[in-house]
Amino acid sequence: MEATTQVKPQIEESWLNVLKDEFDASYFSDLKQFLVEEKQKHRIFPPGKSIFNAFNHIHFDEVKVVILGQDPYHGLGQAHGLCFSVPKGVQHPPSLVNVFKEIQDDLGIPYPQSGNLEPWAKQGVLLLNATLTVRAHQAGSHQNKGWETFTDAAITALSQQREGVVFLLWGKYAKAKEELIDTTKHHVLKSTHPSPFSVHYGFFGCKHFSKANAILRENSRPEIDWRVE
C-alpha cells in the first residue's frame, strides 16, 4: 500500500477513479519515462504540480462545459495547467486576448486585467489541453508521446458517463475531437480558433459563451459567470 501511495498522481480523486486504467497502462509508463528524461535535459512547462490542474478544480460529476486546447503555452511563467489561461500578472497571449474580446462583445463583460481562468474552472469549466506538458520555447514538442491518448480517454469518459455537457470546440484540432463525443447526449458548439490567424473567420461573433449559458439554463443547470478577476 505504501508504494501505491508514493506513485499516486497529483489529480483529483474522482478523476483518479475514472482514469485509473490509463494510469496503469503501458503507454502512460512510457510517457512518464519520457518526461523523466526530458526534465534531465530541458525545462518543462507547466511545473509538475500543475500538470493536472485542469482536473484538480472540478469533480468529474460537476463538469458543465469543456473547452479544448492543444498545447500548453511554452513561454516562461505562462502555463499553469489550464488551456488558454495564464497566471495573474502574466501578459495575455493573443488567443486569450481574442477570447476576452468575444466575451466582451457577447455578454458586455469588461476586458479583465487578469488572464487567470481559474474562476471558470471552479464553476465547472474543464479547460483541457490535449497535450499536458511542453518543452520550454518549443511548441508541440510533447505531442504524440501519449498525452493525447490520456486526454482522449478523459473526453470519452465524460461522453459515456455524463449527460448534457457543453463542448466548445475551437479550431480544426479541437473539432476533430467531436468523434469522441456522443452528440445525442451532449451539446457541441464549433468555431474557428481564437488565434489572430483565424479569429475573423468564425470565432468573433460565435457567441459561444451566451449560447453555452442558454443551454445550461434550458437544462436547469447553473450558468457560468464568465467574468475573470
Please identify every residue annotated as catalytic: 71
Q: Are 179 and 155 in contact (CB under 8 A)?
A: no
Residue 109 Cα distances to 49, 92, 98, 175, 189, angstroms = 32, 17, 13, 27, 21
Query: 3-class secondary structure for the chain?
Result: CHHHHHCCCCCCHHHHHHCHHHHHCHHHHHHHHHHHHHHHHCCEECCHHHCCHHHHCCCHHHCCEEEEECCCCCCCCCCCCCCCCCCCCCCCCHHHHHHHHHHHHHHCCCCCCCCCCHHHHCCCEEEEECCCCEECCECCCCCCCCHHHHHHHHHHHHHHHCCCCEEEEECHHHHHHHHHCCCCCCEEEEECCCCCCCHHHCCCCCCHHHHHHHHHHHCCCCCCCCCCC
